[in-house]
A and B are shown apart, each in its own frame.
Chain A
């Protein structure tokens, strides 16, 4: 374990500033991610929430510089990462060689579908040992020993035997444990988890989330948690950034976000959860209905002018279509201001917004 310097406590492990990524397609330029800024403190979890196509995964792949070359992605912005030595590096600007030294070492990643992210023709032991050999220069035997320790760390029964088995011999939950073991092999300081429990059943999801929580407490790593599951976010994130059509529309500490969502999209997203309707007003008599967000996300090829959410928003006015609102710090939050941001004209020219807290 590296010694923690005093700066570590203040400096965010990762600070993303104005990240954007666009793809050139036959039909035109698709701005998948635009002007994304957020931070993750050491030992904390920031969740990136949004629906399909909102840019969550592209954000994480852009940060890891794993967007495939033939996607012809144009990435801009900065992503300041503080490494173990306390050095600040811009992940989007460092040479590829430096990046290779960071990937799987200081920054590790786990994905949604463990079967497609593990190599089916190598034993699990070899796959875990590979990163230890590469980054730590360990011998084959020492690396395998580390791999076994890792399998034990993620509570895989009969680790010594599993070491020599192949991914298809395990269940989905066990495979995700192996993915985590692989990610943890070099004791990363930042773990990017892209929908790590989406493919799993709830009782298995609970096991994996508990495991991640324990490992974070033990190692002090930061986690960027990408998910669409607001239930998981509520219990496993410190900060939340809500994405819509490639942009962050609101970010806040988790409790504040759920208690007082500021952006109409966040409000709508929380309102349409059945779980938040259970003690709602429409009980007996009147027909039960969820408060759904009308319409659907606009095509990224022909975004609406101004705020992307405006066509679906009940509060939209002429001001919403005149230009993209800035992601601005919330003035009302005073001391906490730096952790609360909203991208909405309503916050910039505060109007009375009635919103029944769930």
Chain B
């Protein structure tokens, strides 16, 4: 593959006064290949959603660039951007807040078709709306209902249908499951899997739920305080996390299995303020392996294996990743 579908280079988004900005996203780079699902994980304030929105220019970047098939989205005109939005779509976290309560489902979906001139005549419009509803497991006769008449899971299905209405190539899924109950989550996960295969979708899947990310994604980017800590193929990341933050994050999320040992090491302290991030490595204030040198300079994101990158100067720690993470995956500890 020569040009990745999405290329993010040194993306930066600061909010507030230039003198003391909130550094929501600070020098983030990654690529997404066509057909790939990339996971974006991190705790609150790590910049996940800001990145998702910046990719579609729902908010503008303050630095760096986002390229779609090589085209710099930051330089695209408003009309070009509108065109591009038929290729780039988003599913939002809160299915209650992201659907207009005054619009019937027919109009929520129809509006998209109108804007992008995807339906010729009312007959075709109606047919397409029916198609979309059935695609996400809803019935055609539900088209004249309002969002409040649906449950959370059904509303999220409407959100998915709206994103799919333009037959996009790329979808940002911004925590699409976190407002849903477990049994409904599974239904929506299956729906996303099915649609992804059927339409060969490329996805940026934003989530704080590591289990879902492990299940759905091909590769994962781990964020902390607006910066990339580690990038790795999913399986390798979960089996052999290298960055100390990734390890802590994996260790802290309890697995639904009482026979696994309960991990007792928690990270000390809170996430620092993005207004005043620590010098050097932003994670050093909570890192159990921090040394003086960590404060001196920002660690670069370096290749640490095939398709693996980590931003940590403690190479000696990275090297012993196999043994250090035995608490999380004991069955893997014996592997060479």
State the A residues within 8 Å of B (CB).
51-52, 171, 173-174, 201-207, 209-210, 228-236, 254-255, 258-259, 268-270, 272-278, 287-294, 296
Contact = CB atoms under 8 A, between A and B. Distances in A.
B253 A202 contact: yes
B252 A272 contact: no
Contact of A296 (B184, B253, B254, B266): B184
Contact of A288 (B153, B193, B263): B193
B323 interface: no
Nearest to B181: A51
Given A234-B257, A274-B212, A287-B197, 10 more contacts: A202-B210, A202-B252, A274-B214, A275-B211, A275-B255, A278-B214, A278-B215, A287-B193, A289-B190, A292-B183
Contacts of B154: 296
Contacts of A270: 256
Interface string B154-169: 1000000000000000
A207 B214 contact: no
24 contacts: A202-B249, A202-B252, A202-B253, A203-B248, A204-B43, A206-B252, A206-B254, A206-B266, A210-B264, A228-B181, A235-B258, A236-B254, A258-B259, A272-B185, A273-B211, A274-B216, A275-B215, A275-B255, A289-B193, A289-B194, A290-B190, A292-B183, A292-B189, A293-B186
Nearest to A278: B214
B124 interface: no
Contacts of A259: 259
B182 A228 contact: yes
B263 A234 contact: no
A52 B249 CA distance: 26
B215 A290 contact: yes
A294 B184 CA distance: 8
B119 interface: no
Nearest to A233: B256
Contact of B263 (A206, A290, A291): A206
Contacts of B270: 171, 173-174, 204
Chain B contact-residue range equals: 35 or more
A203 B288 CA distance: 14
Contacts of A207: 266-268
Contact of B43 (A203, A268, A294): A203
B128 interface: no
Nearest to A171: B270
A254 B266 CA distance: 23
A270 B263 CA distance: 21
Contacts of B193: 287-289
Nearest to A289: B190
A255 B256 CA distance: 11
Given A278-B215, A287-B194, A292 B181 contact: no
A273 B252 contact: no
Interface string B241-275: 00000001101111111111011101110110000
Contact of A231 (B189, B214, B216, B255): B255
Given A210-B264, A269-B182, A269-B183, A205 B194 contact: no
B44 interface: yes
A234 B43 contact: no
Nearest to B251: A206
B151 interface: yes
A213 to B, nearest CB: 9
Nearest to A312: B183
B3 interface: no
Contacts of A287: 193-194, 197
B187 interface: yes
Contact of A205 (B181, B252, B256, B271): B252
Given A234-B257, A255-B259, A287-B193, A51 B183 contact: yes
A290 B104 CA distance: 31
A47 to B, nearest CB: 11
A258 B197 contact: no
A52 B184 CA distance: 11
Contacts of A278: 214-215
B85 interface: no
B256 A273 contact: yes
B87 interface: no
Contacts of B189: 274, 290, 292
B254 A203 contact: no
What 9 A-B pairs have minimum CB-CB distances, sorted nearest first?
A272-B186, A274-B215, A292-B186, A231-B254, A51-B181, A201-B43, A206-B266, A275-B211, A206-B252
Contacts of A228: 181-182
B208 interface: yes
B184 A231 contact: no
Contacts of A288: 193, 215
Contacts of B181: 51-52, 228
B256 A258 contact: yes
B103 to A, nearest CB: 23
A220 to B, nearest CB: 20
Nearest to A299: B151
A287 B189 CA distance: 13
Contacts of A292: 183, 186-187, 189-190
B254 A277 contact: no
A228 B180 CA distance: 11
A263 to B, nearest CB: 13
A258 B182 CA distance: 16
Given A51-B183, A296-B151, A203 B267 contact: yes
User: Which residue among B183, B208, B267, B270 has the maximum number of chain A CB atoms within 10 Å of its CB?
Assistant: B183
A276 B151 CA distance: 26
B257 A276 contact: yes
Contacts of B185: 272
A346 to B, nearest CB: 19
